[in-house]
Amino acid sequence: MARVFVTGSADGLGKMAAELLIEQGHKVVLHARSAGRADETRKKIAGAEDIVIGDLASIAETKFVADQVNKLGRFDAVIHNAGIGYREPELVKTADGLPQLFAVNTLGPYVLTALIRMPKRLVYLSSGMHYGAGSHLDDMLWEKRRWNGSQAYAETKFQDVLLAFAVARLFPGVKSNSLEPGWVPTKMGGAGAPDDIDKAHRTQVWLATSDEPAATISGRYFFHQKLRDPDPFTKDVERQSQLLDLCHKVSGTALHKS
């Protein structure tokens, strides 16, 4: 059985993935952004090994999350599930001066990847909205353009695939993959989302724990446990490096090549 850390597991797909992992007999450490949500999560999810606390919108708190995880020992897999949606009509900046969408959806997974002891497997949640969203890597922080929440969200999901593929390239001993869960009726997806909610959380659990040959490859993109071609620009090493360089610059944390 595997030991898995799941970010953003207080509700939504993260909660569903954590519950399935526990049901399958795996050891699971949860994550909530505040102490209050952590208390609620402990009541909602039975059988978790532990829970760590920290708001991924804050660089300092994200680093604290990594510290808490490392103190718990080594993990077999980390599922980078935490994320916020695209319904932001105005640009919201964090205390670090970054767009909140970028901070949570992109920089959070980057910092945790850089600081948590490297597990055997890493899983990054993207979205079908990532297709065609890689044209503005020179303005990832929205300093030049007029804000567009939907576009900003799509760009962070493109960046999540870039990150997954960069890690797969730089750390050949790690299985690093990305996936889209589908447009499902979660709090983020909305009640009218058409895809099957029962399938939405299974691919990340499968990639984190399964010994099936299809789940033990790296640097690939999945949908419902099947390979899917990502936006071809996510495989561009120069674009991957551009993202890593920016994340290093704004967070002060380097992703050291193995």
Write out the catalytic residue numbers.
Answer: 153, 157
**CA–CA distance, 28 with 99 (Å, rounded to integer):** 30
Per-position DSSP letters for 87-112, written without gaps between them: --SS--B-TTSSBHHHIIIIIHHHHH
Tell me the helices (H) and strands (E) count for the chain, helix number first.
8, 8
DSSP conformational letter for 51: E
Residue 199, classed as helix, strand or coil, is: coil
Q: Is 59 exposed, middle or buried (0-12, 13-18, 19+ CB in 10 A)?
A: buried
- Return the closest-CA partner of residue 161 out of 174, 183, 178: 178
Instruction: Sort strands 27-32 and 50-53 into parallel, antiparallel or unpaired.
Output: parallel
Number of Cβ atoms within 10 Å of the Cβ of 25:
10
Number of Cβ atoms within 10 Å of the Cβ of 99:
24
Name the H helices within the chain: 12-23, 35-44, 59-71, 100-102, 108-115, 149-170, 202-209, 237-251
